[in-house]
Amino acid sequence: MTRLALVLYLVLAATAAGAQTVQDQIVSQLRAQGFTSIEASRTLLGRVILHAQSPSYDRELVFNPTTGEILRDLTTIRRGDDSRPRVLNPRSDDDDDDRRGSAASSNSGN
């Protein structure tokens, strides 16, 4: 009976050692999305905060390391010195300005 218990213990220990934590899984996904600079810290309540940067975006993720529940996921566009939070839009702001300008110029001739 003790041999069976020992074998089960060794199998479970090997499985647990090879398993990734929630934080490892999220960091792997961020790296796959192109985020290179990733820093982790903890809140007073034990949550994990990940700050990640890519050439185009800054991202902040807050999650519960026990359950994996993501409590906050904020992505901001990096635009030189302008780091204000923005809602991601499939059309760029420049395209909107061009459309308004071209519509105004085409209607001004009427």
Least confident interval from 29-38, 43-52, 56-65, 90-99 = 90-99
Residue 52 has pLDDT above 80, yes or no: yes
30 with 22: CB under 8 angstroms?
A: no
pLDDT average, residue stretch 8-24: 67
Average model confidence (pLDDT) for the chain? 77
Percent of the chain topping pLDDT 70:
60
pLDDT category, 105, cuts 50, 70, 90?
A: very low
pLDDT average, residue stretch 24-50: 94
